[in-house]
Amino acid sequence: MNIFRLFGDLSHLAAIIILLLKIWKSRSCAGISGKSQILFAIVFTTRYLDLLTSFISLYNTSMKMIYIGCSYATVYLIYAKFRATYDGNHDSFRVEFLIVPVGGLAVLINHDFSLLEILWTFSIYLESVAILPQLFMISKTGEAETITTHYLFCQGLYRALYLINWIWRFYFEGFFDMIAIVAGVVQTILYCDFFYLYVTKVLKGKKLSLPA
Amino acid sequence: TDSQSSKDEL
């Protein structure tokens, strides 16, 4: 464990908690893409099946349980409890265009052709594009609530910090996982446009609104 | 293999 991975995990945890609290407190999921949240629930489910087979550490196990629990709770709030506030018209990204290619790639390019490894690889590839429905929705509505931009910033920062963690681990431990690194680079690049808007607008107190 | 140790990451 190094400082970059720790702060990456804390940033990810913050993102998940911010979103859950935003929906719970405002009793509304306006502006939130339910499709992205379903993809994240799939990412955690397929990646953390090793909860059933191996124990790494209390930290590892508890964080995985929290991620899975919060992601399913968020999906439940969006599609069940506060479904009346769900903006289905703007959440129209075709996720099958993500899941099918990612599934195919996971079967073709992986470290080991075993079920757990292919599911893990699928989860890594899916996570790199899981935010697209949310970014697409913001481009369609042309704006995002400030709390949603903080959620997105933490979500994007987490994998950026993981990239630094992988540089650190390569340099100090001689370890690298090309699949995780390439997917992590793609994932972080997808946030660049948002990062620019976040820094130039939200951090200056303005509302994030895209030129419609 | 190297990928095993990336399983200790979240």
Give the residue extent of every domain in chain A.
Answer: 3-201
Of A9, A57, A177, the CB nearest to B3: A177
Output DSSP code: residue A112.
Answer: S
Asked if pLDDT for residue B3 goes beyond 50, the answer is no
- Identify the residue whose tokens are 């191996």: A54
CB-count burial class (<10 Å; 0-12, 13-18, 19+) for A200: exposed
- Identify the residue whose tokens are 């470290």: A111
Asked if pLDDT for residue B5 goes beyond 70, the answer is no
Task: Compute the CA torsion angle A83, A149, A37, A101 (nearest 10 deg).
Answer: 130
Asked if pLDDT for residue B4 goes beyond 70, the answer is no
Are A5 and B3 inside 8 Å of each other by CB? no
- CA A23 to each of CA A49, A50, A81, A107, A135: distance values in angstroms, whole numbers, following the listed order: 27, 30, 10, 36, 18
What pLDDT is attached to residue A210? 87
* Contacts with A170 from chain B: Cβ below 8 Å: none
Q: Does A97 touch chain B (CB under 8 A)?
A: no
Which residues, 6+ apart, have CB-to-CB distance to A73 below 8 Å? A20
Strand-pairing partners, residue A208, are A144
Query: How far apart are alpha carbons A199 and A195 in whole angstroms?
Result: 6
What pLDDT is attached to residue A60? 97
What pLDDT is attached to residue A81? 98
Q: Does A68 touch chain B (CB under 8 A)?
A: no
Q: Which of A112, A114, A165, A177 to mutate to test the interface with B (most CBs of B within 10 A)?
A: A177
* Contacts with B2 from chain A: Cβ below 8 Å: 111, 175-177
What pLDDT is attached to residue B6? 84
* Contacts with B5 from chain A: Cβ below 8 Å: 175, 177
Instruction: Provide φ and ψ at A144, rounded to 5°.
Output: -150, 145
* Contacts with A9 from chain B: Cβ below 8 Å: 10
What pLDDT is attached to residue A134? 98
Spans in chain A with pLDDT lower than 50 = none
Of B3, B9, B10, the CB nearest to A179: B3
